[in-house]
Amino acid sequence: MTNVLRTALWVLTVLCLGSTTAFAAGGNLAAGDYIGFTFFTGYMAMFAASVFFFFERGRVADKWKTSLLISGLITMIAAVHYFYMRGVWLETGTSPTQFRYIDWTLTVPLMCVEFYMLLRPAGATTGMMWRLIASSVLMLVAGYMGEAVQPQSNVMWGVISTIGWAGIIYEIFMGEGKKVAAASGNPVVQAAFKQLSMFALIGWAIYPIGYMLLPGNLLAGIAPPSNMDLIYNIGDAVNKIGFGLVVYAMAIKDTK
Ligand SMILES: *C/C=C(C)/C=C/C=C(C)/C=C/C1=C(C)CCCC1(C)C
């Protein structure tokens, strides 16, 4: 299994390196292009994090191996999308909403699975996992509607999206997540669950702040809407790598 993962990783590396030329022709990274900087840093940080999680997977107890695999998949899926977004940004100075949401559609449900995997040994049900995933889908579909399909109604779609986010927060702070964690009797799992929950509450709050820069929304005019990308890039690096590191630290601790 480890060999399969390593091989997949090298194939990915070669593909990424081999195709850099596709985007290097027209654009250049200007000294003051801070949004561009974060596309590059985000790409490389997520790529490195994936290598780290895949390799470290071999060091943790069997019951946590899938959790580490998912941590690596989350950052790897993001790395590939950042690779594209970085290139399009270089060429055009813009970043299409599509890449962002294709990435989130895969990575956010996987983060929901990560909550489930953490609490599964303590008795979490797949019902909890599917409720989290359903809420995340509502959050993301509504967000996409407001950003890309009906931007004139972005406030309404933002509210609907927030209902999805609230569903996730409810499940982990008041619903099954909270109850199973409390009953688990494992302080290492409890501490990690608390940290992941704080990521979902505070770390994820970075995204609606970016969204509110859309014309007609609460923070419109404070900064150009292109700064959404800066905010989303910071949010992604913090949340995807941070989430993975919490799971990693938990697994190492619980293996000893
Ligand atoms: C790795 C990517 C992650 C963790 C993305 C999370 C995205 C959100 C929590 C987005 C939330 C939004 C709202 C709560 C309202 C406005 C629209 C969104 C989609 C930006």
On whether residue 186 sits in a domain, the answer given is yes
Window from 103-107, 132-136, 210-214, 222-226 with minimum mean pLDDT: 222-226
Write out the two tokens for 159: 């509210």
For residue 94, pLDDT over 60 is answered with yes
- Of 52 and 2, the one with more pLDDT: 52
Kindly report the CATH number assigned to the domain that includes residue 86. Answer: 1.20.1070.10
Q: Please, are residues 40 and 86 in contact by the beta-carbon 8 Å criterion? A: yes
Q: Would you say the CB of residue 144 lies under 6 angstroms from ligand 1?
A: no
Does residue 196 belong to any structural domain of this protein?
A: yes
- Inform me whether the pLDDT recorded for 18 exceeds 60: no
pLDDT score, position 129: 98
**Residue 185 covered by a domain:** yes
Query: What is the tally of structural domains in the chain?
Result: 1
Residue nearest to atom 17 of ligand 1 (CA): 143
37 CA → ligand 1 middle, Å: 22
Q: Is residue 147 part of a domain?
A: yes
What amino acid occupies position 88?
V
120 is a domain residue:
yes
Determine the residue type at 141: V
Residue 222 lies in a domain: yes
Q: Is any ligand 1 atom within 6 A of the Cβ of residue 95?
A: no
- Asked if residue 2 is part of any domain, the answer here is no
Using CA atoms, how far apart are residues 254 and 67, in angstroms rounded to an integer? Answer: 13
Please state, rounded to an integer, the average pLDDT across all residues of the chain.
93
Q: What is the mean pLDDT of residues 96-102?
A: 96
Determine, yes or no, domain membership for 24.
no
Top pLDDT among 240 and 15 is at: 240
Distance 169 CA to ligand 1 centre (A): 13
Range of the domain at 57: 33-255
